C-alpha cells in the first residue's frame, strides 16, 4: 500500500531498505506517524521491527530509502534531534557501576538541546516502584526495564520510540506503563512502540502497521482490523438447520455445524448481519453469542497468509 508523504509527520518512512550482507531485513517499507498519535508496530521475531527503530535513532543506517524523524534526517539531526526523542531499545544495556539514582541523574544532566537541561526523574521512578538506591548491576530484568522507561519518559520528549517496552515487567507495572502512554498522548507527545503483547497495542494504539519478513503486510486502525475479520456468531436452535441454507446468505463467510449437536452453528460474518437475523427470526433461537476477534487473532491470520514467494510465514 502506497502512503502519501506527510511533511508534518512525526515519523515518515519511504522505501526503506536494510541489508546485512546477503540478508535483507527491510524490503521497502513505507509508513507515516502523525503528531500526537500512538502507533503500534507489530510483527514476529525477525520481521524487521528493531532494525527500523534503530534506523529512526541513527543507531543503524539505511541501505536505501528516506527517513524523517520530527522533520529531520536522523543522520543529520545529531544531539539536538536525539534530545527530542525518548528511546527505549529492545536490548537495554545499562552501566552497572552506578546506583540507579546516579545513572538517572547522569541521563538527566545530558538531556536537552544546546546544553544540559536536567529534569526530575524521581516522581516517575516512584510511580514505577523503582528502588533508586540499588546498584544497577544487581537489578532484575524487570527493574532494568523500569530504569529504561524512566529515562525515556521523564524528560517528556516530543517523540517516544519504545521497542518491547514491557519486557520483564509484572502485570501491575504493565498497566501503569499503559497509563503513562495514554497520558503522554494526552500531553501531545507521539508514541511509536512495538510489542509482542498484542493486547497492549489493542488497548492504546490509534493505528498499527503489521510487518512480516521485512514487508508491510497491513496498515490500519485497530477498529478497521477487527471489522475486516468480521464477527463470529454461535447460534443454538431448537431444531437443526442445514449449514448450506445459512451459507448462501449475504454477509456470511463460513458456517459450521457442531459435530456433537447439529442444532449449534458457528457462523462467520464479514458483512451486514441483516440477512442472517431475518433467517433466524423464522426459527426458535435458544442461545446466541457474537464476538469480534481480538487483535492477536487478526494479526496471526496475517502471519499465516502466503508471502510474496508463495510461502507461509
Looking at residue 245, which CATH number applies to its domain?
Answer: 3.30.70.100
What is the C-alpha radius of gyration for the chain, rounded to an integer number of angstroms?
Answer: 24
In terms of residue numbers, what domain contains 280?
A: 231-291
194/46 same-domain check: yes
CB of 232 within 8 A of CB of 268?
yes
Alpha helices, DSSP H only, in the chain?
Answer: 49-56, 74-82, 100-110, 122-127, 141-153, 171-186, 198-204, 222-229, 243-247, 274-280, 295-304
Residue 197: which residues within 8 A CB-CB, separation 6 or more? 166, 174
23, part of any domain: yes
The pLDDT of residue 218: 86
In a domain, 308, yes or no: no
For residue 248, being part of any structural domain is answered with yes
In a domain, 65, yes or no: yes
Spans in the chain with pLDDT lower than 50: 1-5, 114-115, 308-313
**What is the pLDDT, as a whole number, of residue 301?**
67
The answer to whether 1 and 211 are in contact (CB under 8 A) is no
CB atoms within 10 A of CB 137: 12
> Residue 102 has what pLDDT?
95
pLDDT of 64 reads 96
Whether residues 215 and 235 share a domain: the answer is no
Note the pLDDT of residue 153. 96
**27 plus 135 within the same structural domain:** yes
Residue 301 domain-assigned (yes or no): no
Q: Are 239 and 284 in contact (CB under 8 A)?
A: yes
Give yes or no: residues 154 and 241 share one domain.
Answer: no
CB atoms within 10 A of CB 21: 5
310 in a structural domain: no
- The pLDDT value recorded for residue 302 is 66
Q: Is residue 302 part of a domain?
A: no
pLDDT at 312: 39
Q: Does 270 lie in the same domain as 202?
A: no
Q: Do residues 130 and 246 both lie within one domain?
A: no
Strand order across the 252-258 sheet:
252-258, 261-269, 231-237, 285-291
Amino acid at each position: 500500500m502506497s502512503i502519501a508523504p506527510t511533511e508534518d509527520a512525526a515519523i515518515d518512512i519511504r522505501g526503506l531498505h536494510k541489508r546485512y550482507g546477503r540478508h535483507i531485513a527491510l524490503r521497502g517499507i513505507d509508513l507515516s506517524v502523525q503528531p500526537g498519535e500512538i502507533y503500534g508496530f507489530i510483527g514476529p521475531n525477525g520481521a524487521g521491527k528493531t532494525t527500523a527503530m534503530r534506523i529512526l535513532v541513527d543507531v543503524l543506517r539505511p541501505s536505501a530509502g528516506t527517513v524523517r524523524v520530527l522533520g529531520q534526517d536522523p543522520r543529520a539531526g545529531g544531539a539536538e534531534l536525539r534530545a527530542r526523542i525518548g528511546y527505549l531499545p529492545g536490548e537495554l544495556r545499562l552501566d552497572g557501576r552506578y546506583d540507579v539514582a546516579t545513572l538517572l541523574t547522569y541521563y538527566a544532566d545530558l538531556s536537552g538541546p544546546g546544553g544540559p537541561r536536567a529534569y526530575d526523574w524521581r516522581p516517575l521512578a516512584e510511580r514505577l516502584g523503582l528502588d533508586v538506591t540499588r546498584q544497577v548491576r544487581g537489578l532484575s530484568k524487570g527493574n532494568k526495564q523500569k530504569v529504561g522507561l524512566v529515562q525515556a519518559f521523564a524528560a517528556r520528549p516530543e517523540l517516544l520510540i519504545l521497542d518491547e517496552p514491557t519486557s520483564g515487567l509484572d502485570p501491575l507495572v504493565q498497566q501503569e506503563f499503559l497509563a503513562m502512554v495514554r497520558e503522554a498522548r494526552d500531553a501531545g507527545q507521539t508514541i511509536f512502540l512495538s510489542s509482542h503483547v498484542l493486547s497492549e497495542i489493542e488497548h492504546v494504539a490509534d493505528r498499527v502497521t503489521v510487518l512480516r519478513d521485512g514487508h508491510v503486510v497491513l496498515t490500519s486502525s485497530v477498529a478497521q482490523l477487527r471489522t475486516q475479520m468480521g464477527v463470529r456468531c454461535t447460534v443454538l436452535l431448537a431444531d437443526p438447520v442445514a449449514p448450506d441454507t445459512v451459507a448462501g446468505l449475504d454477509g456470511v463467510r463460513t458456517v459450521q455445524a457442531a459435530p456433537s449437536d447439529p442444532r449449534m452453528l458457528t457462523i462467520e460474518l464479514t458483512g451486514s448481519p441483516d440477512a442472517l437475523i431475518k433467517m433466524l427470526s423464522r426459527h426458535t433461537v435458544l442461545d446466541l453469542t457474537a464476538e469480534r476477534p481480538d487483535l492477536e487473532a487478526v494479526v496471526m491470520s496475517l502471519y499465516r497468509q502466503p508471502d510474496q514467494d508463495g510461502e507461509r510465514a
